Chain A
């Protein structure tokens, strides 16, 4: 489209005649409303440092994100976030506390608990409960990992364990919202939306942000679609959930009685009619509509292809422990690798089973049986394919669990805990084989190098080449950022 070259003054007037705000955005494949318009177009089009984005916009290239070029040299191209929804216990996974073991059954010292938030233990006795696991050292790094995670233990030299995580929210729903959006107020963009807004997508026929879920363990906690919403960013950036049952993506299958050929003819007719209308009314949004229908048609082929694991070797299936089509965390981990290979920026897995208020041993067994092997398989598989270097893996829950026991009987549980818990990161420029930060001797408070959720966000963005202070969108008068208004720091201690 030669008349679209804004650097050619002769063709420029003609270009503008056919161009409104919609066209600029349409060419970005971003039809959005006036609410986000100024801000979206602002960074993409009007700042000096995004000449590339402007050029792409004018010549109809793919959307390359508002952070173009990146603020720093990126270490990671994509993120795989393995969310252990419900909140796994740090004390049965990565945080070994012999002193807590010694005090099992005795009251938790009031100096720890006084005035502190509690969830279901409100008004209940607060007694110490030592780990129900045994710990050993693994790998050359000698990281201490529990016997519930024998496979992840084989990755001890690949992962950086953060033992000093803290969050602000003690109930599931707001804690997830906080972990994903940095705020508990609904309507803020989630991490995956931010990353796609910032960097654009690397895939031409899949969404840039994909969510996969699985269950197994204790009573599955609800997960709201808000957790992968685009909030005040254009809905283009929202996460798309891929389902293991029914259509993998809603409405991705042709209607009954309609073949691919018929569907293709239909879409071609719609395209032709839209083009004719455009000649009459010169509505640039129409061009974007045509492109979206073409993308939709490509998705009708690419999504089933993605979900079809029949091309994977038995050895690979065994590595993950996946049975095609079972909707398990294992299958989802394998799909995560396939999504990563196809250029998806942000892949978010939820395993909903980790809310262990009671039956801790029983449910740790179940959850770890579901999640341990596939997690390790994903790390090994990416590594052998040379993709771990530019894939950032993050593993953890929305919070941790109390050092105090909850419930009676032989297999008590633990309540929600926000003052100190563990997560791990791997790949994407993270220093392998280290532990970072520490909780106190009873595993209650993060006392050494605490890492706030905001710090995790800042660090993740940093590895992707984004300065968290410079990725924002104006909404209701506020420069909304993933890391919010409080100070957030990049956790340099875990970076290679």
Chain B
């Protein structure tokens, strides 16, 4: 393959051209398009290739959507020259200026073809700043020649059954997932890399399913277990662990923008933590995704609502709210409506319905009417009472009262009570009464907590606001309805949130969009375990997103999900049992060159861990982790004065001085306006808006955090204490123990030498400056083993800091 082609393709892929254009020989065989009837077309460079058979969804829609639809798309209000290009009928109908934009099979007669090749007055216009590339022009030409066939947008077509494809290498695949992926790899001339070694695999699956590193005991047990189903037993153990829910909750909490503060202005705290518990519980209990959906959107409307379903309905209250003096009711109701529409469409539909607040969507078939009809589902939620007091008043309390609220035990609270109770019941009558008293006290300490819930009231009228202007009341009142192009709800009387929720999880054959919802969820679940989606656009399944690289597999998983009864754990197991999941993450030369974006999954991905996982790793290896499920919000150390910009009321952050100091990241206090600097440095979102995919940055602030944040310094001295008390042998053996604990692999001799050099230098420094050793070991509240020599302890703490700062330690490979 010529180097020039590689370069163009590599850059093209970087620029976001769909992965379908990637791959091997096909591209090389289509180097130029030189039909005799081409008017003034520039030759297609060999660097950009055009597939022989043009497919609308893969090849054409992305071009039209990005470059043409702003003026010739679905938004009827901004159509230029009376031309719309988003349907075959519109694109081929007669133009006012004569002719037709597209004459199928005849590009020479197509006005579109002439205009995109018109050098003096091209389309798109120069001031649109989105010129067509030569390859894009060639694609349009070839597509017209081939009949200009349109396809419905892939995401609006229900998932379809396709039998798992045939593969040439029948030995390699172990599951259907493997067959889909290998089929595509073979078509692209790519071979999967080798399987991961067993230690790497255990570390990967343990992080992926629990968010924590494997213990040395788990590692040794797995390495020693040569039985054929050793791996499956690990998977089953992890799926059954309480940590599964803690791990999976994070991505859902990002989607529904769960936080502990209101977001606007004074950013007062509000009562939502029991909802976070409910999400963790739901994943652990494997609540079917349809119920999971219905309870969040309409837990107050189900038959016999209970505390749990009401806690779930806190979802509707998680939006950003303002208690600023002088807010205008109508303005904020409009803001809240829009927030909820963006959330529900983003979290469940992978849609950007929020774009239709001011105008019909520019790229997708959502109308402004659809936007307000969706908002109307939520008009029965009373927000007015929270913006009734123009001077802030009682709402400046912490937490701010946000009726309706209930006081309840979360399902995790009840679970913990049951477990303590069981321990009590199992106590031998002769047991130490102090032990009994301790357990009883722990039961009593679990108190019902406040949580915002949803209670349906009289729905407010929702008007279509022209151009989104809340002061313009000329628009019609809109009834709740699903987006028109996706069908209608068959209800007696006014549709409500329960109808909406059921529609989201009812299969298409029965009048809902369940298949599409399943596709959105499966894509995001896949990304948790493979580092990227089968459709790369986790947040946008619309025309401006990238089409899926593996549409058949995505559909296969979506249908299997529904068939399983929306069984999340079953689908997770299916994914992590595949051979594809178990591949090495180190690219072969071929994979590195042909698929640097890893869109074909010929290897596993390497992911810098999310913020919570980085924290949890440090706490776990240091032995400080307090493994307590659910409950109160955790307040780790935080720089003094970080909340000095908050007011109404003024705020002083107090870190926990109890066991809550060392709890997992998922329980950390989530202050929207001033997210903990550690969470921020490692790209956790503020959760002001629905986040489907966290960015992954690599910044000096993150380095400073891992180096100097007292949480990590304290963890290093805890880790050092473990090294000195749990590991055996000389320095080299202790270093090996520490490296295995943090990374699940033993170090090389060179690596040991580097750490020994550091350790020895630290030893001599702290021997000469024992008071400095004392200062280092004084960081954090965790008690220290006074039997340890402070100089030794401090020197090892330095080595432990080095290990905690390794790229490898914070990377899941």
Contact = CB atoms under 8 A, between A and B. Distances in A.
Asked if chains A and B come from one complex, the reply is yes
Interface of A: 6, 9, 12-13, 16-21, 24, 26, 30-39, 41-42, 45-46, 115, 117-123, 170-174, 184-187, 207, 213, 219-226, 229, 234-236, 240, 243, 245-247, 249-259, 261-263, 265-267, 269-270, 272-274, 276-277, 281-283, 285-286, 288-289, 292-293, 295-296, 299-300, 352, 415-416, 469-470, 474, 476-478
Given A186-B688, A255-B776, A299-B700, 6 more contacts: A16-B593, A174-B264, A257-B794, A269-B754, A283-B811, A293-B703
A173 B264 contact: yes
A121 B12 CA distance: 56
Which 5 A/B pairs are nearest by Cβ-Cβ distance? A38-B16, A31-B698, A477-B544, A257-B776, A119-B326
A478 B695 contact: no
A222 B647 contact: yes
B540 A266 contact: no
Nearest to B325: A120
B5 to A, nearest CB: 11
B317 to A, nearest CB: 17
Q: Which of A18, A300, A478 has the most CB of B within 10 A?
A: A478
A251 B709 contact: yes
30 contacts: A20-B597, A24-B14, A31-B697, A34-B532, A35-B538, A36-B695, A122-B390, A171-B265, A173-B324, A186-B320, A186-B689, A187-B689, A213-B645, A225-B675, A225-B680, A251-B709, A255-B776, A257-B776, A262-B765, A270-B805, A273-B754, A273-B755, A273-B808, A277-B808, A281-B586, A283-B606, A293-B700, A299-B704, A476-B352, A477-B364
A246 B3 contact: no
Contact of B15 (A36, A38, A171): A38
A13 B806 CA distance: 29
B708 A253 contact: yes
B671 to A, nearest CB: 9
Interface in B750-782: 750-751, 754-755, 757-758, 761-762, 765, 772-779
Interface string B90-105: 0000000000000000
Interface string B689-722: 1000111111111111101111001000000000
Contacts of B674: 224-225
B640 A246 contact: yes
Given A33-B683, A225-B675, A292-B700, A251 B776 contact: no
Q: Which of B11, B267, B807 has the most CB of A within 10 A?
A: B807
B621 to A, nearest CB: 16
Contact of A276 (B267, B585, B702, B750): B750
A221 B703 contact: no
A441 to B, nearest CB: 25
Contacts of B773: 257
Contacts of B342: 185
Nearest to B9: A16
Nearest to A188: B689
A319 B765 CA distance: 46
Contact of B265 (A39, A117, A173, A219): A173
B545 interface: yes
Contact of B777 (A38, A253, A257, A265): A257
B512 interface: no
Nearest to B355: A478
Q: Which of A32, A174, A253, A270 has the most CB of B within 10 A?
A: A270
Nearest to A213: B645
A222 B646 contact: yes
A265 B593 contact: no
B748 interface: yes
B677 A243 contact: no
B596 interface: yes
Contacts, number: 322
A273 B96 CA distance: 69
B540 A256 contact: no
B336 to A, nearest CB: 13
A246 B758 contact: no
Contact of B6 (A16, A34, A42, A469): A16
A117 B471 CA distance: 8
A249 B704 contact: yes
B265 A34 contact: no
Q: Which of B4, B327, B696, B765 has the most CB of A within 10 A?
A: B696
A31 to B, nearest CB: 3
Contact of A292 (B16, B672, B703): B703
Contact of A250 (B532, B639, B703, B758): B639
A222 B6 contact: no
B7 interface: yes
The interface size bin for chain B is: 35 or more
A24 B597 CA distance: 11
Nearest to B698: A31
Given A219-B647, A225-B675, A257-B777, A21 B698 contact: no
A240 B761 CA distance: 34
A269 B751 CA distance: 9
Interface in B668-683: 672-675, 677, 680, 683
B536 to A, nearest CB: 7
B16 A39 contact: yes
Q: Which of A20, A246, A272 has the most CB of B within 10 A?
A: A20
Given A26-B698, A32-B696, A41-B14, A20 B596 contact: yes
A127 B732 CA distance: 81
Contacts of A33: 683, 693-697
Contacts of B585: 281
Given A13-B3, A213-B645, A235-B683, A251 B704 contact: yes
B391 interface: yes
B755 A269 contact: yes
Given A222-B648, A269-B757, A477-B543, A13 B6 contact: yes
A220 B647 contact: yes
Nearest to B798: A266
Contacts of B665: none
B10 interface: yes
A172 B324 contact: yes
A477 B351 CA distance: 9
Interface in B520-543: 532, 536, 538-540, 542-543
Nearest to B542: A477
Contacts of A45: 11, 14-15
A251 B702 CA distance: 10
B22 to A, nearest CB: 12
A252 B647 contact: no
B168 interface: no
Contacts of B335: 184
B801 interface: yes
B247 interface: no
Nearest to B689: A187
A257 B697 contact: no
Interface in B114-142: 127, 129
B350 to A, nearest CB: 10
Contacts of B127: 469
B788 interface: no
Contact of A256 (B700, B751, B779): B779
Interface string B788-813: 00000010001001100111100101
Interface string B497-532: 000000000000000000000000000000000001
A247 B813 CA distance: 34
Contact of B12 (A46, A117, A122, A251): A46
A301 to B, nearest CB: 12
Contact of A263 (B15, B646, B707): B707
A274 B700 contact: no
Nearest to B646: A222
Contact of B710 (A6, A171, A255): A255
B274 interface: no
B328 interface: yes
A292 B11 contact: no
B501 to A, nearest CB: 23
Contacts of A226: 673, 686, 688
